Amino acid sequence: MTGSDAAAPVLSEVDSDTFTLEVTARRLVGCDIVVLELASPDGTALPPWQPGAHLEVNLPAVDGDVMLRQYSLCGDPLQADVYRIAVLALADGRGGSSYILDNVHPGTTVRVRGPRNHFPLEDAPSYAFVAGGIGITPILAMARATAAAGKPWKAVYLARDSQRLAFGDELMALGPDATMWTDEEHGRFDLAGFVDDLPAGTHLYACGPGPMLDALEALHSPDSTWQLHLERFAAITVDTSCDVPFEVVVKSSGTSLTVPPDCSILSVLRKHGIQMEYSCSEGVCGTCETDVLEGIPDHRDAVLSPEEQEANETMMVCVSRARTPRLVLDI
């Protein structure tokens, strides 16, 4: 899976916020994850980042659009000259992982943007981490930083089988507070027992499959003595049967558009020639976050925290709608 590429492809440029990195290493971990190391072509230091951050990779244009994909940084923030990301091979994905796995090798240059962080590690007296599958990528950086800071922590890394515990050796190297667990060997992990043992004030961070995150949400209640932070890779299921039309006003031009029940704000804006940055179209990446100047959004994303959603200052226009008849957006 590794090797040099004499005709290294250059990925599409998007805007002035992007910059070029070179792939300096590539290796297969587990059965279906490729790890890429990226560095500046001239060896200069890279923009700093904190655990939970992701890097946005710009892939070749499809149907006139640039394909943007987000990958959590899973290296060490103290290593200033290299970024590390992990790409999961998805046979039924949207094309991003297939392109990277087939075309990106040591020597390839890529256009990226970031790092950005919608999943920051907050200060707390103690921490707990739950990672499922490829969800280990942001969790690994968090556990590494927490262990280095000498804070109390514990972590569990869940997967179907041992071949999918791609970063198990790195997590276990952080100390005895890490556990690896596979369904194949041990059966279903007891999440309820895990959270029952958390000291008061613990912040629990989790990333992985939707059912695992849903189970943790069900275990967390307003009177829980621990705090829950989630990062999702898939959209939240929302009942759309009662959706109604509403008006969106583009602040810069004054243009007023009607958003039908079966269309997103994003699709309506693009249909009328208004360019918006977007990627997942499912409310999980944060690329299309837009400031709200008037009106109240109906938040349906998995990026903004409950506090950020309650503030109603921004919204993800790919999935969120309106609770008021009219929204004015800072576009």
What count of other Cβ atoms lies within 10 Å of the Cβ of residue 251?
A: 13
Over residues 137-151, mean pLDDT: 95
d(CA 88, CA 166): 10
Residue type, 149: A
Q: Are residues 89 and 147 in the same domain?
A: no
What pLDDT sits at residue 62?
54
Q: Does 188 fall in a domain?
A: yes
Over residues 26-53, mean pLDDT: 91
Q: Does 12 fall in a domain?
A: no
What pLDDT sits at residue 204?
98
Q: How confident is the model at residue 285 (pLDDT cuts 50, 70, 90)?
A: confident
Q: Are residues 223 and 255 in the same domain?
A: no
Pairing verdict, β 65-72 and 83-88: unpaired
Q: Are residues 153 and 197 in the same domain?
A: yes
Q: Give the percent of the chain with pLDDT over 70.
A: 90
Tokens of 139: 């969790």
Q: Are residues 270 and 216 in the same domain?
A: no
Q: Are residues 145 and 225 in the same domain?
A: yes
- pLDDT > 90? residue 304: no
What pLDDT sits at residue 275?
82
Q: Are residues 111 and 145 in the same domain?
A: no
Residue 146 belongs to a domain with what CATH number? 3.40.50.80
Q: Last residue of a domain, which of 84, 116, 148?
A: 116
Q: State how many domains the chain has.
A: 3
Answer with the residue of higher pLDDT: 238 or 62: 238
Q: Last residue of a domain, which of 53, 83, 116?
A: 116
- pLDDT > 60? residue 175: yes
CA distances from 66 to 11, 104, 193, 292 (A): 10, 17, 45, 25
Q: Does 4 fall in a domain?
A: no
CA atoms within 13 A on the CB side of 124: 25
Q: Last residue of a domain, which of 64, 88, 116?
A: 116
Q: Does 13 fall in a domain?
A: no
Q: Does 84 fall in a domain?
A: yes
Q: Give the percent of the chain with pLDDT over 90.
A: 63
**Average pLDDT score, the chain:** 87
Q: Are residues 250 and 224 in the same domain?
A: no
Q: Does 7 fall in a domain?
A: no
Q: Are residues 289 and 323 in the same domain?
A: yes
pLDDT per residue over 233-274, tens digit each? Answer: 766 777 888 899 999 999 999 999 999 999 999 999 989 988
- Element (DSSP H or E) covering residue 114: strand 109-116
Give the list of residues 6+ apart from residue 294 with CB closer than 8 angstroms, or none: 249, 326, 327, 328
pLDDT per residue over 76-133, tens digit each? Answer: 999 999 999 999 876 555 556 778 888 889 999 999 988 989 899 999 999 999 999 9
- pLDDT > 90? residue 220: yes
Over residues 124-149, mean pLDDT: 95
d(CA 200, CA 203): 9
In terms of residue numbers, what domain contains 59? 19-116
Q: Are residues 183 and 214 in the same domain?
A: yes
Q: Does 251 fall in a domain?
A: yes
- pLDDT > 70? residue 212: yes
150: phi > 0 → left, psi -120 to 50 → alpha, else beta; which?
left
Closest CA to 165 of 193, 120, 134: 134
